[in-house]
Each structure stands twice: as structure tokens, then as C-alpha cells.
Chain A
């Protein structure tokens, strides 16, 4: 029988980052619930890497992430358009450097 007594507390939330292949960055894949870090890695394996996407997984407690203020986007994320001097576009990329 599945017990329904004592409405269970929800497990803490974890953010999951998966690296698709060597040399790439870890990319945010989603989030999940798990009781602790070890099980969070295992749950992430089941939820986010079953189609062969991953070579490495990071999990981070969601409350350890500090986010930018969504109301501050006016000044915080002001577009750098029209400020070409800020961009390193005047260089030629070396050959053989992937993912640049």
C-alpha cells in the first residue's frame, strides 16, 4: 500500500547541468527533486541523459543560485548594439578552434 498519511514534505529542488561531449560547456538541462546530492545525480541521469546526451552531470541546489533581478532588464541587459568597439569582431579566428 502506498501510504497517504502525513502529507509528505517535498524534496528540495536541484538544477541540472549536462555536458553533451568533451570540450563543450555544461548546459542547463532542467530541474528535479531529490532528497540529497547523490540521489540528485542519479535522478538527473534517469531524467536527462537516457537518450545518450551526456558525458558529465552537475547538480546544484536551486536555492544556491543567485539570479539577476528580472525587473532590472532595462539597464542591466541594455543592448550593446551600436557599440562595436566593445566586440572582438575585428580579429580572424584561428583555424582548428572548435566551438568559438
Chain B
């Protein structure tokens, strides 16, 4: 039998990148909304860049593709959010990604944690995707139509990211002695940076009904993590929360190198296209 339906082909020349941005691309953000969009956009951008580090280095080719797909989903969220943030002062998504310095970024420290071994990447993915799932679920009800549209589009993708992280957490924790030892260590290394995600910074007070109050997401996050950890026979590690400070432009030591790698090409060849 033959399938006569033509497969959709994508060629970069014809692709209208602007058409893939979620929400009304003509909407203009206020300064406060732009700052909030930077929080979320930078979280997605930094995590995407980190996951890109696994390309050609994952344990198996299939996992290479899986992590690459997740990274590209996150890049899509970052594009929409940074584009929207840039409308407040006339900067483009590329201006924001490539031409801001470290103190101007707003990502939380969880996303800046190094890839480490595969278990550490999975522990970071579990915390990140469980948080993002709760966040985007709630953000769909935002009074800001653009943020609501971004959340609506991102939620299905983040749902899959969470499933991927849960599946691997269960397998690593329940696999060999070696994989279990590494998973336990990974959770312990990552967990100090979970707390920062749920802190209500002063900005949230200015965005009632627009932003999601981070502290309200904690319960849903804990419920999911408790269920996964129970099945994986893992415990929430008894670790002190890190100071964090990403929302105010203070970052984890990994950030400098990460930004250098991400920005070097655009800064050496401004305006280049290929």
C-alpha cells in the first residue's frame, strides 16, 4: 500500500519564524510585564542552551534526539517570551539573548546548574519540568493575553518533558546500584536550587492577575514530586536552600561560561546570517 499524502516539508528559507511566536506579536508589554517575561524566557533559554550540550554526547543516539527535542521546545518558549519582553523597549529576541550581560539575565539558579552526569541532568529536568508544568497551567488564566497564549502552547510540551524526566528518574533510581547511587547524588545536588523557584519577589505584587504568584505553585509541585519519589523509593534530600538571586541578576558561577559560549558567535559577527 502507498501513502499518497505528501509529508510536510520545512525549509528554513521559506519558514516565517515570526509566525511561530505564540500570542499577538503586535502586543506591547509594560515594563513590569516585560521583566516577568524575562524571568520565564531566561529560564527556558538557559535550560535549552544547557540541554544542547548533550547533543552528540548523550548515552545513546535516541536520548540525544530526545534531549535535543526538549531543548528546541524550550527555545520556542524562550523566543515567544523574549520577543514579548523586548516590545517594552524596542529590543528584539536576538538582542536580548545575545547582547545582554550576565547581571541583566533573570534566570533562576536551578536552570544554571551544570549538566553533570546523565542523572544530574534528569534530576534538573524533573524539578524544572514539574515547576514549569504548574507554572504554565496557572498562567493560562493570566489577564495578559500574550502570556496566556504562550502558556497554552508551552503546557503540552512541558507535559512531555515532565513525563520524560519521570520515566528516567524511575529507571535510574530502580536500575543498577550505580545508577541508583548517581540518581540519589543528583537529587541531592540539584535540590538546594528548587526553593528559589517558589519565592515571591516584589515584582509579583505589581502584576496581580497577570503573573502567577510562585509560592502558590509549590503545593502542586510537591504533590507530583512526592508521587514520583515514592515510586522511585527516593527521599526529598535534607539540604539547605541556596540563596539564589537570579531574578535580581545574581547568577550561579556556571553562568559566565554558558553565556560566553551562547553569545560568542553573535558578538563576533554582529548581524551575520547563515
Contacts and interface: CB of A to CB of B under 8 A. Distances in A.
Interface residues of A, number: 27
A11 B60 contact: yes
Interface in B54-69: 57, 59-63, 65-66, 69
Interface string B41-84: 00000000000000001011111011001000000000000000
Interface in A38-94: 38-39, 42-43, 46-47, 50-53
Nearest to B72: A50
B57 A2 contact: yes
A33 B61 contact: yes
A50 B61 contact: no
Contact of B59 (A8, A24, A43, A51): A8
Interface string B167-192: 10001000000000000000000000
Interface residues of B, number: 22
Interface string A8-48: 10110000000011001101000011111011001100110
Interface in B81-116: 116
Contact of B62 (A27, A43, A50): A43
Is chain A's interface secondary structure helix, strand, loop, or mixed overall? loop
A50 to B, nearest CB: 7
Interface of A: 1-3, 8, 10-11, 20-21, 24-25, 27, 32-36, 38-39, 42-43, 46-47, 50-53, 99
A51 B7 contact: yes
10 contacts: A1-B117, A2-B117, A8-B59, A20-B5, A24-B3, A34-B62, A42-B163, A42-B164, A47-B65, A53-B7
Given A21-B5, A46-B66, A39 B61 contact: no
